[in-house]
Chains A and B, each alone.
Chain A
Amino acid sequence: MPAAPANARFATSHEWILTGTEISPVGISEHAQVELGEVVYVELPEVGRQVKAGDSVAVVDSVKAASDIYSPASGEIVEVNQEITSNSSLVNEDPYGAGWLFKIKLADPSELGALLDETAYKALY
């Protein structure tokens, strides 16, 4: 089971974001990809969109269900992972690496203090 990078922080809605950088990649957790099962389609946000923490910004569709993905932080979407639009299984295979969803330019890095580290996140389930 892949471990999250040490600087990943988690939202209770199962997204991760990397801390310590101005532009932070966001994805879904290992736990989330296991629960969702085989991802078959990912709907990504538009680059340039301004989002607030908690906004629904993407959809991950698995064989099982369509799941909303919420931004764990406020800021501007500056890049989306085009690779996963043609190869959505990357979200299952490498959720903390090649399966990232989008990158966000943080409006307020201090927001991330409210998120959980991996140990605290794993304690939720």
Chain B
Amino acid sequence: MVPFAGWKMPVQYTGITEEHQAVRSGVGIFDISHMGQFLVSGSASMDWLNGLLTNGVHKLEEGQGQYTLMLNERGGVIDDLIVYRTGPEEWFLVVNASKIAEDREWMQARLVPDVALADESPAFAGMAVQGPQAVDVFGKALPGERMPSRNGVAMIARRNGGKCVICRTGYTGEDGFEFFCPATEGPEWWNTFVAAGARPCGLGARDTLRLEMGYPLNGNDLSPDRTPLEAGLGFFVDLEKGAFVGRTVLTEQKANGLPSKLTGVRVTEKGPPIRAHYAVFAGGAQIGELCSGGVAPSLGGAGIGMAYLPPDFATPGKVLEIDVRGRRFAAETVKKPFYRRPA
């Protein structure tokens, strides 16, 4: 068990690699009770969210969700989150555990009339059921319920009126769903999903799975000093929807070019795993450092990582070296995602 954002979390239950493979080929379950949940509602809520988040919430139909980012005035990332539209003027936001207080304070300070914001994080337990067999687990654990479509959300009322939220999203690159229930019902639901075939997975596998997909981890790959354009998340930025916090900086970057790009890196010789903060060299000079790194179980144990590098290095095949405890190992830039599911 390790401390994580104020929680005690298991790195592994039986083994990172086994858990990783279970999610790629079967189905795994992650405890995500640490994540935060905000409810936003009110007649002005759509415009308000559009002014605080990079993606366009107006594009969401009821029952749909989208990945989005909340930026500071400098265009840097405060948090990345998913916003689900649960009603005409109702939104369910899932935010990072380590950012719950900061997100809430940032949003509260910018509240406008006709918007209500509630931090419901302590009220919810959460679990992510992920893998090609997640649909089977859903069917067994929730007979009669319909799984939302990709990125979608559904609310179900059960067990003495306790509300559960089902989201067809995840952080592994596999099909699956995230399930939020009243905190007191967490253990019961966990056991239900495990009995239906989901294998318990810890933070270790969560990290290797997301890294193989090139998904950023806030605090590692996202920072208040880097914009989502530098992080390669332009797809989740709607510059056409009107003003939002950070937009000016993004517009300037788009016009004048990016100072750096979050780039995929892969080791090309046999060597030790590469990890966050290892220095990245090209032509003998340091050009950056890894913000994430690790072993990719689905790529034969290859060392992969991500680093903010000068834009010249953002194309695949650029020759690099990674410094591991004073020794340099050959590496190259590669396209993300590192792993693609076999067709």
Given contacts A43-B325, A64-B11, contact A38 B17 (CB under 8 A): yes
Contact A41 B273 (CB under 8 A): yes
Given contacts A63-B204, A64-B12, A64-B204, contact A40 B295 (CB under 8 A): yes
Contacts of A37 in B (CB 8 A): 12, 15-17, 204
Contact B272 A63 (CB under 8 A): no
Number of interface residues of A (CB under 8 A): 11
Residue A66 interfacial (CB < 8 Å)? yes
Contacts of B272 in A (CB 8 A): 40-41, 43, 59, 61, 66
Contact B273 A63 (CB under 8 A): yes
Contacts of B11 in A (CB 8 A): 64
Interface centre among A37, A40, A63, A66 (most CB of B within 10 A): A63
Contacts of B301 in A (CB 8 A): 40
What are 30 residue pairs bridging A and B, where the CB atoms are less than 8 Å apart in the complex? A37-B12, A37-B16, A37-B17, A37-B204, A38-B15, A38-B16, A38-B17, A40-B272, A40-B273, A40-B295, A40-B301, A41-B271, A41-B272, A41-B273, A43-B325, A59-B272, A61-B272, A61-B273, A63-B17, A63-B208, A63-B273, A63-B294, A63-B295, A63-B297, A64-B11, A64-B12, A64-B16, A65-B275, A66-B272, A66-B275
Residues of B183-238 whose CB lies within 8 A of A? 204, 208
Number of A-B residue pairs at CB separation under 8 A: 37
Residues of B270-300 whose CB lies within 8 A of A? 271-273, 275, 294-295, 297
B16-33 CB mask vs A (1 if < 8 Å, else 0) is 110000000000000000
Interface centre among B272, B294, B297, B325 (most CB of A within 10 A): B272
A90-106 CB mask vs B (1 if < 8 Å, else 0) is 00000000000000000
Provide the bound-state CA to CA distance between A75 and B219, in Å.
43
Taking A40-B295, A40-B301, A64-B204 as given, write out 6 further A-B residue pairs in contact, using a Cβ cutoff of 8 Å, ordered by the A residue number.
Answer: A37-B12, A37-B15, A41-B271, A63-B16, A63-B208, A63-B294
A25-68 CB mask vs B (1 if < 8 Å, else 0) is 00000000000011011010000000000000001010111100
Q: Tell me, rounded to whole Å, the shortest Cβ–Cβ distance linking A63 to chain B.
A: 5
Q: Tell me, rounded to whole Å, the shortest Cβ–Cβ distance linking B24 to chain A.
A: 14
Contacts of A65 in B (CB 8 A): 275
Contacts of A63 in B (CB 8 A): 16-17, 204, 208, 273, 294-295, 297
Provide the bound-state CA to CA distance between A40 and B204, in Å.
15
Provide the bound-state CA to CA distance between A63 and B272, in Å.
10
Provide the bound-state CA to CA distance between A64 and B301, in Å.
12
Interface centre among B15, B208, B271 (most CB of A within 10 A): B15
Contacts of A41 in B (CB 8 A): 271-273
Contacts of B275 in A (CB 8 A): 65-66
Provide the bound-state CA to CA distance between A41 and B204, in Å.
17
